[in-house]
Amino acid sequence: MTTGARPSSPRKVGLAVIGLGMAAKPHLEALALLSSLVKVTGIFNRGRTKSENVSGRYGYRIFDSIEAIARDPQTEGVILLTPPDSRLGIVTTLAKAGKHILMEKPVERTLAAASALVALCEAENIKLGIVFQHRFRVGARRLTDLMLQGALGQITLVRVEVPWWREQSYYDVPGRGTFARDGGGVLISQAIHVLDLMISLAGPIDSVQAMVATTGSHRMEAEDFAVGGLHFMSGAIGSIVATTATYPGSAESIVLDGTLGTAILRAGELRVFLRDGGEDTLGEISGTGGGADPMAFPCDWHRDLIADFAAAIAEDRAPAIPGREALHVHALIEAMIASSRQQGMRVPIIGSAA
């Protein structure tokens, strides 16, 4: 992913929004700030009431079906915010109609299904972008630049912690925290953002040893706790601890230890400690959705991500986070679950984007 200033599209790009559930809030707020770059051609949601509420607030047209969006000549692309179990039919319809897609994570519930969706879009020459907005935070962008410059030297150790909290009421929503609708629990629904950012910074992973479990804090099918040991292709080793069972929840962190220094990225704040004595701090800790309110974070990162996607359509280039790149984190999550089922055996990472 490139870093730097928010891109400006040479023309307005027509985008529709599909799905108006919890994930829609920052997208709608971001789109309200992007009126010079994006024309919202309309919205669609299975429940009419939400569509009417959003239309009343923003003045957006309401589409009656996915097929209507696919037929609409003003719609060049869509922001797809539905749960992953409904993706295949929607993506197929849109891709066949030539509509580009910016899709909320995860791509799908399994690596095989995610790979199939990516391949479908590639076969239809559709730009597929994935909503991993943590990559667009100021601290993350700066750390990406430092890694490209080799400022930390060779990375030897990577440490990731996601100590988040979700109330039981969150998992009481039908389908949430299940394999059938979501594809799993904390790994694929929450920690996936931080794990994707980790991979984008530290590089691909060779193998993992892990344990996942459901704590006594929640009644749910999938895991609310995961711990893993990582072996990176670069030779670095690492650790992951992720949970939604730590009340009241606190900021996630990525620590990169290198031969020339250490970088600590905690929420939006980056702190760098170089072995020659240099130190630097950039950004500030801000909400990430790790507490009781999953949507308690600013829309700035979504704004920049959507702006990049619109510019990618206008400039006929790949979006910053293409679908195939997102397969790396899907492969890691699948390997962690497989390792846990094999009592912590070391499992190779296979089938990711190469």
Domain count, the chain: 2
Same structural domain, 140 and 35? no
Q: Quick one: DSSP state of residue 350? A: -
Q: Across the chain, what does the average pLDDT equal? A: 93
- pLDDT for 290 beyond 90: no
CA separation (Å) from 290 to 13, 187, 189, 247? 32, 13, 12, 10
Q: How confident is the model at residue 126 (pLDDT cuts 50, 70, 90)?
A: very high
> Phi and psi for 93 in degrees, rounded to 5?
-60, -45
Same structural domain, 282 and 175? yes
Which tens digits make up the pLDDT trace of 213-222?
999 999 999 9
What is the rounded average pLDDT of the residues 292-317? 86
Same structural domain, 64 and 146? no
Residue-level pLDDT at 345: 97
Residue-level pLDDT at 353: 43
Same structural domain, 200 and 249? yes
Same structural domain, 33 and 115? yes
Which tens digits make up the pLDDT trace of 160-191?
999 999 999 999 999 999 999 999 999 999 99
Same structural domain, 111 and 167? no
Residue-level pLDDT at 337: 97
Q: How confident is the model at residue 6 (pLDDT cuts 50, 70, 90)?
A: low
Same structural domain, 101 and 198? no
Give the C-alpha separation, 245 to 224, whole Å: 6
Order of strands across the sheet that contains 279-282: 279-282, 269-274, 261-266, 253-258, 155-163, 237-243, 225-232, 205-213, 347-348
Residue-level pLDDT at 332: 98
The verdict on residue 353 lying in a domain is no
Q: How confident is the model at residue 8 (pLDDT cuts 50, 70, 90)?
A: low
Read off the CATH number of the domain in which 62 is found: 3.40.50.720
Same structural domain, 182 and 273? yes
Give the C-alpha separation, 198 to 241, whole Å: 13
Give the C-alpha separation, 333 to 323, whole Å: 16
The verdict on residue 297 lying in a domain is no
Residue-level pLDDT at 319: 98
The verdict on residue 299 lying in a domain is no
Same structural domain, 68 and 41? yes
Same structural domain, 25 and 112? yes
- pLDDT for 233 beyond 90: yes
